[in-house]
């Protein structure tokens, strides 16, 4: 605008000089006066128009930032500028909204991402990181702003190596959280236009549960192979012995055949328990109302033969009139395994008691015996697959080492838990706790 005013001033000066030239050359005073009047009118009109244009532009710029549309100028140039600025403003607002949405999405992702993640630039600054990252480095009390804030030198070494090699590196690291945590670390280079590593993305994935599960599977296969081999070897050995025996050794043959039969039963039990464990996670609950007292006494009666063989006394201390809603088959498998375990480890003439108690929050079913008991060191392991407190006694009595594992798995499916208290030489108490929400009603007394 100032430039336009300067041009106008120069133009006026030239016109005035032209007027003086006409006056002194021709001496026509009337023409000279008319020309001066015309010049004054043109100047006034031009100045007024330029002031209007300046005001229009000022208002146009102001409105462009407040999203108010300016439509009342008659100047086509102003209208065109108005249209351009309006489009620019709309595009700017759309881009701002898009950037804001992307930022909010990124923050939501970083807040809810369970795996550890951080992004490092060439200056070794941590640009962003997931909210869960401190969980992987509990010994780091400061915020993660630079690479040196990461306490693990092996991870920092992988980052530096990736900046140099521009290749993705994946490595499994141990020793986190005092050695309990196993992490898969993936370091990914982010390249620029000239294929140089501009930033490095580090991903930390917790493999601890997967590796522990793999170890359990390997242990299970190893133990299962050993457990299956023992009865198979016995059956094969005694069968070969019988095959080579004289025909008149009937008594010895019968003894060996009894051993073969018992070993085949043990083999059958192992296979049945292994099949039960393999299917337990896929079990669909089929809940029905169960009269708990009748149910427990029915299971106890089904074991009468085993109880009589060892002259054991099965007693009951049951709360009256308790109805629960549960899966009858799964619950029966839990109680059968607990009672069978008590029979197996209780000396001849001992006592076994089934106790029920109901509270506001839960109902408990206890199986108490006067057996050999369990040491405190072994209590922590008795629910492991194939673990036996007394291996020789368990094999002799037909135990598979899987019964209590089945009890634990089935208890969890029923939303319950199993616990044990015991002392060596004084017996054990196994307690099944079920939530009170499964109690459907109370019978009328």
- pTM score of the predicted model: 0.48
Pair (135, 178) in one structural domain: yes
Using the predicted structure, report yes or no on whether residue 358 has a pLDDT greater than 80: yes
Q: Give the chain's mean pLDDT.
A: 74
Pair (53, 98) in one structural domain: no
Mean pLDDT of 95-121: 71
Pair (437, 289) in one structural domain: yes
Pair (294, 364) in one structural domain: yes
Domain span holding position 88: 75-112
Using the predicted structure, report yes or no on whether residue 285 has a pLDDT greater than 70: yes
Using the predicted structure, report yes or no on whether residue 10 has a pLDDT greater than 60: no
**Total domain count, the chain:** 4
Pair (357, 397) in one structural domain: yes
Mean pLDDT of 200-205: 87
For residue 268, being part of any structural domain is answered with no
Asked which of 55, 86, 112 is the last residue of a domain, the reply is: 112
For residue 197, being part of any structural domain is answered with yes
Pair (300, 440) in one structural domain: yes
Mean pLDDT of 176-204: 81
Pair (135, 46) in one structural domain: no
Per-residue pLDDT of 167-184, as tens digits, reads: 888 888 886 655 577 888
Pair (298, 399) in one structural domain: yes
Greater pLDDT, 401 or 59: 401
For residue 218, being part of any structural domain is answered with no
How far apart, in Å, are the Cα atoms of 8 and each of 1, 2, 19, 34, 35? 11, 10, 16, 20, 17
For residue 255, being part of any structural domain is answered with no
- pLDDT (0 to 100) of residue 297: 93
For residue 43, being part of any structural domain is answered with yes
Using the predicted structure, report yes or no on whether residue 6 has a pLDDT greater than 60: no
Asked which of 167, 193, 209 is the last residue of a domain, the reply is: 209
Query: Looking at residue 156, which CATH number applies to its domain?
Result: 3.30.450.20
Per-residue pLDDT of 222-269, as tens digits, reads: 666 666 666 677 777 777 777 777 777 777 777 878 777 777 776 776
Asked which of 179, 194, 209 is the last residue of a domain, the reply is: 209
For residue 260, being part of any structural domain is answered with no
Per-residue pLDDT of 364-385, as tens digits, reads: 999 999 988 888 878 877 877 7
For residue 44, being part of any structural domain is answered with yes
Kindly state the tokens that stand for 86.
């309006």
Pair (21, 126) in one structural domain: no
Mean pLDDT of 98-113: 65
- pLDDT (0 to 100) of residue 225: 63
Pair (336, 393) in one structural domain: yes
Pair (205, 299) in one structural domain: no
- pLDDT (0 to 100) of residue 313: 93
Per-residue pLDDT of 304-341, as tens digits, reads: 888 988 999 999 999 888 888 888 888 988 998 899 88
> What gap in Å lies between CA 68 and CA 63, rounded to an integer?
5
- pLDDT (0 to 100) of residue 174: 80
Pair (36, 140) in one structural domain: no
Using the predicted structure, report yes or no on whether residue 393 has a pLDDT greater than 50: no
For residue 146, being part of any structural domain is answered with yes
Query: Looking at residue 298, which CATH number applies to its domain?
Result: 3.30.565.10
């Amino acid at each position: 605008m100032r430039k336009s005013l300067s041009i106008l001033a120069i133009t006026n000066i030239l016109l005035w000089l032209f007027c003086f030239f006409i006056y002194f050359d021709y001496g026509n005073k009337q023409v000279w006066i008319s020309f001066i009047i015309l010049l004054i009118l043109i100047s006034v009109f031009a100045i007024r128009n330029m002031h209007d244009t300046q005001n229009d532009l000022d208002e146009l710029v102001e409105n462009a930032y407040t999203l108010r549309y300016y439509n009342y100028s008659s100047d086509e140039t102003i209208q065109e500028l108005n249209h351009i600025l309006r489009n620019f403003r709309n595009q700017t607002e759309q881009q701002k909204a898009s950037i804001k949405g992307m930022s909010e999405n990124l923050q939501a992702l970083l807040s809810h991402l369970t795996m550890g993640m951080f992004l490092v630039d060439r200056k070794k600054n941590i640009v962003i990181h997931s909210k869960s990252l401190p969980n992987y480095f509990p010994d780091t009390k400061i915020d993660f702003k630079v690479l040196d804030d990461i306490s693990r030198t092996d991870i920092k070494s992988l980052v530096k190596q990736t900046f140099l090699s521009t290749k993705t590196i994946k490595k499994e690291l141990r020793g986190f959280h005092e050695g309990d945590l196993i992490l898969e670390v993936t370091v990914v280079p982010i390249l620029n236009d000239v294929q140089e590593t501009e930033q490095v993305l580090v991903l930390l994935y917790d493999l601890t549960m997967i590796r522990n599960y793999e170890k359990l599977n390997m242990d299970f296969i190893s133990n299962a192979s050993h457990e299956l081999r023992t009865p198979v070897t016995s059956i094969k050995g005694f069968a070969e012995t019988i095959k080579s025996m004289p025909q008149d050794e009937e008594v010895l043959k019968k003894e060996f055949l009894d051993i073969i039969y018992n070993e085949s039963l043990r083999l059958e039990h192992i296979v049945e328990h292994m099949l039960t464990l393999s299917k337990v996670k896929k079990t669909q609950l089929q809940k029905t109302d169960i009269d708990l007292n009748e149910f427990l006494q029915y299971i106890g009666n089904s074991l009468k033969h085993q109880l009589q063989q060892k002259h054991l006394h099965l007693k009951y201390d049951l709360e009256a009139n308790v109805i629960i809603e549960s899966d009858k088959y799964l619950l029966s498998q839990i109680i059968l395994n607990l009672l069978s375990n008590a029979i197996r480890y209780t000396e001849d003439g001992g006592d076994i008691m089934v106790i029920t108690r109901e509270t506001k929050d839960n109902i408990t079913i206890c199986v108490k015996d006067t057996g050999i008991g369990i040491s405190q060191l072994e209590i922590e392991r008795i629910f492991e697959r194939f673990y036996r407190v007394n291996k020789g006694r368990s094999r002799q009595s037909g135990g598979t080492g899987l019964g209590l594992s089945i009890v634990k798995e089935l208890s969890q499916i029923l939303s319950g838990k199993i616990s044990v208290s015991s002392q060596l030489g004084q017996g054990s108490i196994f307690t099944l706790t079920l939530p009170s929400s499964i109690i459907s009603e109370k019978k009328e007394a």
